[in-house]
Amino acid sequence: MNGFEFFVLYRLPYLAVPFYLIMLSVRIWVWMRFYNPALKLLPRARGSVYGVWKRQYRPTIHIFPGSRSQRTEWKRAIKGFVFFTGLYKRDKVLWMGSWSLHLGLLLVIVAHARVILPLNLDLICLRIALIGSGLMTVSGTYLLLRRIIIQRVREITDFRDYLAEFILLSFSLTAFLVMLDGGVSSEALRHYVSGLLMNTVEVIEVPDMFVWHMLAAQLLLIVIPFSHLLHLGGIFFSREFLGTSDTFAGEFGSGLKDRRN
Amino acid sequence: MEREKKYIPPGLAGTYMRRIAESDPFVREIQDEPSALRLYMDTCTKCGVCAQECPVYYGQPDKRMHPVERSRQVIRLYKKYTTFWGRFWNAIFPKPDFENNDAELFAERMYECLTCRRCAAFCPVGIDHSVISRVGRSLVDLMGLTPPSLAQGTHNSFETGNLEGASVEAFLDAIQFIEEELKEETGRDIAIPLDREGAEIFFLPPSGDVLVYAENLMGMAKIFHAIGADWTMSSRAYDGSNFGFTTGNNFSMKYENKHYIDACEKLGCKLMVMGECGHAYRVMKFMASEGQWWGTLPFEITSGFEYTAQLIRTGKLKLDPGKNPDVVTYHDACQFAAGCGIVEEPREILKATCADYREMPDGGYTQWCCGGGGGLSALRSVRAFRMEISGKKKAEQMRETDAKIVSTSCLQCRTQLKEIARHHKMPLQITGVHELVNNAIVLE
C-alpha cells in the first residue's frame, strides 16, 4: 500500500465523512431556522423548538390544484417521490435519465447494506451493484451531455455544476469498473470498515480501482452540501411551501379535464 | 415606514443577524423575505425545466430571460450580504451589487418576470421563481426604481384608496352613470347601494370595473338584483386591487388590503364578494385571511366567480345563452387559477351564459400567462416586450381557438389581451366573465 492509497483509504474518510455530516446539518439547520414545515409532523411538539417555529413567518405561497384530502395528498406525494411522475408527464427523456440515475443510486445503497448484514449475500449484492452503477454511469453521462448540449441548461450551468456531475460520474464509473473486476467481498469490506472504526490499518484484497472509487465517493461527500446535488433533502421542504403534492405528481386539475367540452 | 418584525433568535447567531439586519435597510429587505428564497437557492438542480415552461423564455429564449438566471441576480445579493462565505469573499474580493454596477438593469430584469408561477407548477423540486423575483422587486422598490406607473398607483392608493387616484365625486358620478345605463337597458331601477350599514354583502370590484369596464359591475348589480340580495359598496374603499403585491412592497400590500377590510368591518357586512382582480383576491383570501395578518376576520370572503357559480348551480339565476351567440373562450388569470384554485367556476358561468364555449389550449391550472402578469400590463414602457416576447405564446393560443370572444377573469389580463389582439391584428373581443353574465341574465 503506497502513500496515496493509505491517505485515500485510511485518512481521508476521517475528514470527508465528518465534513459532510457537519455541512449537511448546517444546511438543515438553516432551513429549519426560518420555517420548518416538517415540525408539523410532530403533533405534540412543545417547548423551545415549537415556540420558535410558531413565531416564524409563514409563507403563503400555496399553488393550486391542491389535493382534496390528506389521503390523496400522501398518495400523490409518494407517487411523485417514487416515480417522478410530475417530470415524466412533462419531459420523458429527462425523466428517463433522472429516474434511472436515482434508481441506480438506490441499488448501489442497497448493495452496500451487505456490510452490516450477518449474511453472505455477495453474489446477489455484486450483481445489484453492477446494475446500479451501470445505470448511474449511463444516465449520469446523459445528464452531463444534456447539460453541455441543451442551450437552456448550458446557459445556467457554471463550473461547480460541471464539477459536481463529473465527480458523480467518476463515482459511478469507478464503482462499475470495480464490479467488472470481480468486486469486493463482504469480508474484505467488513475488515476495512472495522479498521476505520478502530483506527487500525487492515490489509485487504481489493481491485486497484477500489482506491479511485473511494476517492470519488469521498469527494462526492465533500461536494454535495455546496452543489445542486443537495436537492435530495430540500425537495420535501419546497413542496411543503407550495402546499400541494399535485404538481409533484403531475396531477394538474384532473377533475377539470373531465368537465371540459 | 414601519416594517414587519422578523424573529431573530437569541445568542450568537441572533447577534450576528441583528448586526447585519440593522446596518443596512437593503440587507434587511433581503432578510425579511420568505425563507423560500434560501431553500430555493440550495435546492435548484438547474435542469432547465422552468425555462421550458416560462412564457418569457418562450418569447425570447436567451440567458437574460431564463428564470434561474434572473433569480441568480437576487441570490448573489443574498449571499453577498447575509451568508458567512458571501461576506468573507466579498471582504477579500469586493464585487459590485449588480451586474455592470447597473441598478436600473437589475430593476428592468426583475420586471421581466410575470410572477405567473408556471415554473413552480412544473419544477421537479418545486421552486417558485416568482417568490425570488418579488424579493428582487422589493429591493428595486427600496432603491426607488419601481416603474413610475406602479409607484404612482401605490401612491394613489395611499392618498385616495384607489389606484387611479379618482376622487369620491368621480366615483359617485360613475355609479350614477352605471345606474342610468342599467335603467335604460332593463327599464328597471337597479340600484347600486353605497355605504349601507348592516348590509349582508360587501361587494368589492377593482376600480377599473367601476371607472373603465362598467359591464362587469353591471353584471354583478343585475345578479344581486335578480336574487334580491342585501348588498352594498363603499364610496371610500371601492378598489379591490393590490399593486403592493406586484411591487414587492409588503407595507403597501398590507395597507391596500387593510383599507377595504376596515370598510367591510365598519359596514358590518357578513360576506365580502370580490370582483375580477386576481392579485387582490389572492392577497385577501390566502394571505391576509389565512395568514391572519389582521387577526380573525368577522366576515367570509368569496370571489364573484364562486358566488355566481353557486347561484347557477342552485338554479337561482335565469340565463339565456342565446344572448352570447359567438364562440367564446376563456383565459385563466394566473392569480385566480394557480394562485387561488378558481378554475372551474368561471367555466361553469361561461357555459351557462354562452351558446358556444371552447377551451383554450393548456387552459386551467397550468395556463400560459397573458404576458402582462405581475403588474406589467400597467406599464406602457414595456409594451414592446409584452407584445412580442411575454405575450407571444398567448397570441398564438388566441389564434388557435377560432373564438370571437376571449373572456378573462382579471382586469390586468383583460388590458394585456386587448393590446395583444390589437397589436397582432386579431378581430377579437376581450371581455370580463360577468360582462357576459350581464348580457345573458334574464330579469323577471
* A152 with B57: Cβ contact below 8 A: yes
- For the cut 70, the answer to whether the pLDDT of residue B362 exceeds it is yes
Q: Among partner residues A153, A228, A242, which is closest to B126 by beta-carbon distance?
A: A242
A243, closest residue in chain B (CA to CA): B126
| Mutation target among A62, A156, A162 for the B interface, most CBs of B within 10 A | A156
| Mutation target among B52, B53, B365 for the A interface, most CBs of A within 10 A | B365
* The predicted structure's pLDDT at residue A60: 63
Q: Which residues of B touch A237 (CB under 8 A)?
A: 39, 43
Residue B299 Cα, gap to closest chain A Cα (Å)? 20
Least confident of A75-89, A192-206, A209-223, A235-249: A235-249
pTM of the model: 0.89
CB atoms within 10 A of CB A95: 18
User: Can you read off the three cell numbers belonging to residue B54?
Assistant: 416560462
The Cα B271–Cα B200 span in angstroms is: 6
The letter for the amino acid at B393 is K
Tell me what the mean pLDDT of segment B111-124 comes to.
93
Q: Which residues of B touch A62 (CB under 8 A)?
A: 286
| Phi, psi values for residue B202, rounded to 5° | -105, 115
Chain centre distance of CA A95? 16
Q: Is A4 exposed, middle or buried (0-12, 13-18, 19+ CB in 10 A)?
A: exposed
Of the two residues A148 and A115, the one the predictor is more confident about is A148
Nearest to B278 by CA among B351, B343, B198, B233: B343
Residue A69 Cα, gap to closest chain B Cα (Å)? 15
- Residue B135 pLDDT level (bands cut at 50, 70, 90): confident
Topology of A3-35+87-232 in CATH?
Fumarate Reductase Cytochrome B subunit (1.20.950)
The Cα B281–Cα B302 span in angstroms is: 8
Bridge partner list, B232: B202
- For the cut 80, the answer to whether the pLDDT of residue B443 exceeds it is yes
B348-357, pLDDT tens digit by residue?
999 999 999 9
User: Can you read off the three cell numbers belonging to residue A59?
Assistant: 409563507
| Maximum Cα interatomic distance, chain A, rounded to a whole number of Å | 73
The Cα A42–Cα A30 span in angstroms is: 19
Note every long-range contact of B223-226, with CB atoms under 8 Å and residues 24 or more positions apart, other chains counting.
B223/B307, B223/B308, B223/B311, B223/B317, B223/B434, B223/B437, B223/B441, B225/B188, B225/B190, B225/B443, B226/B316, B226/B317, B226/B318, B226/B441, B226/B443, B226/B444
Q: Among partner residues A55, A57, A153, which is closest to B47 by beta-carbon distance?
A: A153
Tell me what the mean pLDDT of segment B67-80 comes to.
90
A23-42, pLDDT tens digit by residue?
988 887 777 665 554 554 44
Of the two residues A243 and A11, the one the predictor is more confident about is A11
Place of cell 389582439: B421
Say whether residue B40 is in contact with chain A using an 8 A CB cutoff: yes
The Cα B136–Cα B309 span in angstroms is: 38
| Mutation target among A152, A157, A235, A244 for the B interface, most CBs of B within 10 A | A152
B218-277, pLDDT tens digit by residue?
999 999 999 999 999 999 899 999 998 999 888 888 888 998 899 999 999 999 999 999
B35, closest residue in chain A (CA to CA): A34
Of the two residues A261 and A15, the one the predictor is more confident about is A15
Mapping DSSP onto H, E and C, the string for chain A reads CCHHHHHHHHHHHHHHHHHHHHHHHHHHHHHHHHCCHHHHHCCCCCHHHHHHHHCCCCCCCCCCCCCCCHHHHHHHHHHHHHHCHHHHHHCHHHHHHHHHHHHHHHHHHHHHHHHCCCCCCHHHHHHHHHHHHHHHHHHHHHHHHHHHHCHHHHCCCCHHHHHHHHHHHHHHHHHHHHHHCCCCCHHHHHHHHHHHHHCCCCCCCCCCHHHHHHHHHHHHHHHHHHCHHHHHHHHHHHHHHHCCCCCCCCCCCHHHHHHCC
* B44 with A228: Cβ contact below 8 A: yes
* A63 with B338: Cβ contact below 8 A: yes
Q: Which residues of A96-127 are buried (b: 16+ CB within 10 A; e: fewer)?
A: ebbbbbbbbbebbeebeebeeeeeeebeebbe
Cβ pair B332, A223 in contact under 8 A: no
Residue A241 Cα, gap to closest chain B Cα (Å)? 7
Cβ pair A107, A128 in contact under 8 A: yes
Domain positions in chain A are: 3-35+87-232
ipTM of the complex: 0.85
Instruction: Count Cβ–Cβ pairs < 8 Å, chain A vs chain B.
Output: 161
The Cα A201–Cα B227 span in angstroms is: 87
Say whether residue B357 is in contact with chain A using an 8 A CB cutoff: yes
Q: Which residues of B touch A241 (CB under 8 A)?
A: 34, 36, 39, 126, 128
* B125 with A235: Cβ contact below 8 A: yes
Neighbour order of strands in the sheet with B429-432: B356-358, B327-331, B405-408, B429-432
Residues 282-321 (B) with a CB less than 8 A from some CB of A: 286-287, 290-291
Residue A105 Cα, gap to closest chain B Cα (Å)? 17
- For the cut 70, the answer to whether the pLDDT of residue A158 exceeds it is yes
Place of cell 359598496: B233
Say whether residue B131 is in contact with chain A using an 8 A CB cutoff: yes
Tell me what the mean pLDDT of segment B50-74 comes to.
96
Which domains, from first to last, does chain B contain?
11-145 (1.10.1060), 150-312 (no CATH), 318-440 (3.40.50)
| Phi, psi values for residue B330, rounded to 5° | -130, 130
Q: Which residues of A61-90 are buried (b: 16+ CB within 10 A; e: fewer)?
A: bbbbbbbeeeeebeebbebbbeebbbbbeb
CA distances from B385 to A133, A231, B117 (A): 48, 34, 19
Q: What percent of chain A has pLDDT over 70?
A: 84
Q: Which residues of B touch A66 (CB under 8 A)?
A: 341
Tell me what the mean pLDDT of segment A115-125 comes to.
85
Residue B182 Cα, gap to closest chain A Cα (Å)? 33
* B39 with A234: Cβ contact below 8 A: yes
The letter for the amino acid at A153 is V
Say whether residue B368 is in contact with chain A using an 8 A CB cutoff: no
